[in-house]
Amino acid sequence: MPPKNNYHPALAVTQIRNHITVTLGMDNDQYPLWVALFTNHTKATRVLHHIIETESGKPPVPTTADEKELWDAIDATVLQWIYATVSTELLETIVESESTAMECWTRVQRIFQDNQYSRAVTLEQEFSGTSMADFASVSAYCQRLKALADQLKNVGSLVTNNRLVLKLVSGLTSAYLGEGTVIRQANPLPEFYRARSMLTLEEAGLAKAAASSALYAKHNDDGDSSSSILGKPPNSSNKNKGGHNKKKRRREQGE
């Protein structure tokens, strides 16, 4: 009879990409997001201790053959999750025979945290130079700022909410300066997501106003075009009236 403890929720996961939806490449852009998704999934399936030592320390070492077999199966499963959610280039860098999931996780961590000070300098420069003028919408601009803030946090340079909001405001285009002033003068400063919502509402208002102006201009153009189609210039009736008055005056002078 098979042992009673041969089932574990981690072993029931067949499509890891349904849970970890990003592919981690050699660049740092997706690392914070990948870590967040991966650790959350391992908590849900009760295998976090296979990649990170928990507060209670290392998990108990399996003692029986059945426990050892189950442990090895779960660890191999977690290792497969890592392999399945990274790029081919990164996989070739981290894969090693006879590796545990925790050893592999640590290798990935070191790749993205090595030279963190030089990486922080590069990210700081990019963060400071980011401007809304380079993006198609408020949402895209905000998303980029948040991604850079997350990457800075990952290399040990925490970006506070106030700094993030002030940077958001300082990079706005002229059309949003009014709303930016409202955000900047708030005390305390709003949360980043609240400031983002305020700007997206302003964006929607500006788009609506622009659409109304375009419709009004088109209506006026269509009116002038109708006059041309009829073979008469705009206000032709006034011109005809003026000509009639001149003829009348000439007749009166002749008399």
Please indicate, yes or no, whether the overall pTM of this predicted structure exceeds 0.95. Answer: no
3-class state of residue 80 by DSSP = helix
Model pLDDT, residue 134: 95
Q: Are 154 and 127 in contact (CB under 8 A)?
A: no
Would you state the structure tokens that stand for residue 120, as one six-digit string? 């922080």
Q: Dihedral, CA atoms, 164, 150, 152, 106, nearest 10 degrees?
A: 160
Domain ranges of the chain: 9-113, 116-208
Would you state the structure tokens that stand for residue 176, as one six-digit string? 């949003």
Q: Are 199 and 142 in contact (CB under 8 A)?
A: yes
Model pLDDT, residue 129: 96
Model pLDDT, residue 96: 94
| 233 preceded by a cis bond (ω within 30 of 0) | no
Q: What is the mean pLDDT of each run of 10 residues along the chain (255 residues)?
A: 62 90 82 91 92 72 86 93 95 94 94 82 94 95 94 88 97 94 95 96 90 74 57 52 57 56
Eight-class DSSP state of 187: S
Model pLDDT, residue 132: 96
